[in-house]
Amino acid sequence: MFVGDLIYLLLTTSHKHLTNIMLGRWLVLTILPCLAIFLFFFFFNLHMNSPLMVVSNNAITLKNPPRRQAQFSLLIGILTRPDAYDRRHFLRLIYGIQSSPIADIDIKFVFCNLTKDDQRVLIALEILRFDDIIILNCTENMNSGKTYTYFSSLPRILSHSYDYVMKADDDVFLRLVPLAASLDPLPRIDLYYGFVIPCNSLNPFVEYMSGMGFILSWDLVEWIAESSIPANDTHGPEDKLVGKWLKMGKKAKNRFSNKPAMYDYPGTNGRCSHELIADTVAVHRLKRWDQWLAALKFFNVTKGLEPSKLYNI
């Protein structure tokens, strides 16, 4: 635009003197502000999403060994209560330090409607900071279909689907690397994965998976949302109901009970318990601090801590 103006100015001005004055003024008034604006946008763009930054990011990535691409995605919904602030804080630490190279894993805390004014402030703060909370349209403490509401709401409220969805308790310790490794070779559809009840059973096709933590493939989550079978049968022991729905709907042809990798903490639940073992996926019934600490110690969870002048642990 200003090149055109310049040519126009030169062609239409007959006196050299006049041209010089006008050109000088034009330079100051037009070119310099244009230059300033141009430079501003150039550097602003550079800062926001510049090609140079992408290049340097790539350079950093290349120094590391190539990461295996995620093979599947998993949503883990930890069903808990709004007032369990301390438990959420602790579980954020437990899961914040874990990741699997083969799975994109999202962890969310799931509960029913808030009931108190302090919750509306404190949980809003948690959401602003962590964005890891799902509040379902249901009422707490009534054994009245929270698990149903959880699965049946997901296709409607999530912005994208997952390959698998897990329901987990807030007193279970999940080890994400072995969990993902155990899912990787399994079918992505019509899958029901967990710890089969009764405790001593090894046949996942008879009863149901324990509520400590079970996984459904996304097609089954959609089925729960759409079918009248679960909708008509939401009151009762929640994990048992899921097994019943799937049986009635002739669903979950693919089942996997992960024993002995999933179990209740030693001494807490008869034949569902056994000693801690190295290849653990899930330890359940961690109700007390001494139990959590023993588990974290056994699995070397804090062994990776680097020495530092800043602390001495």
Question: Which positions lie near ligand NAG, rule CB under 6 A?
Answer: 113, 137-139, 228-229, 232, 278, 298-300
- The least distance separating ligand NAG from the CB of residue 249, rounded to whole angstroms, comes to 10
- Classify residue 90 as left (phi > 0), alpha (psi -120 to 50) or beta: alpha
Closest to ligand NAG by CB, 45 vs 113, is 113
- The least distance separating ligand NAG from the CB of residue 66, rounded to whole angstroms, comes to 26
Closest to ligand NAG by CB, 202 vs 278, is 278
> How many whole angstroms separate alpha carbon 251 and alpha carbon 192?
9
- The least distance separating ligand NAG from the CB of residue 304, rounded to whole angstroms, comes to 11
> How many whole angstroms separate alpha carbon 173 and alpha carbon 212?
9
> Cα separations (Å) of 3 from 6, 12, 27, 58?
5, 14, 11, 39
- The least distance separating ligand NAG from the CB of residue 241, rounded to whole angstroms, comes to 13
- The least distance separating ligand NAG from the CB of residue 36, rounded to whole angstroms, comes to 52
Closest to ligand NAG by CB, 151 vs 164, is 151
> Cα separations (Å) of 197 from 139, 173, 175, 259, 283?
27, 19, 21, 11, 15
- The least distance separating ligand NAG from the CB of residue 238, rounded to whole angstroms, comes to 16
> How many whole angstroms separate alpha carbon 30 and alpha carbon 22?
11
Closest to ligand NAG by CB, 256 vs 298, is 298
Closest to ligand NAG by CB, 23 vs 229, is 229
- The least distance separating ligand NAG from the CB of residue 173, rounded to whole angstroms, comes to 12
Closest to ligand NAG by CB, 199 vs 301, is 301
Closest to ligand NAG by CB, 113 vs 200, is 113
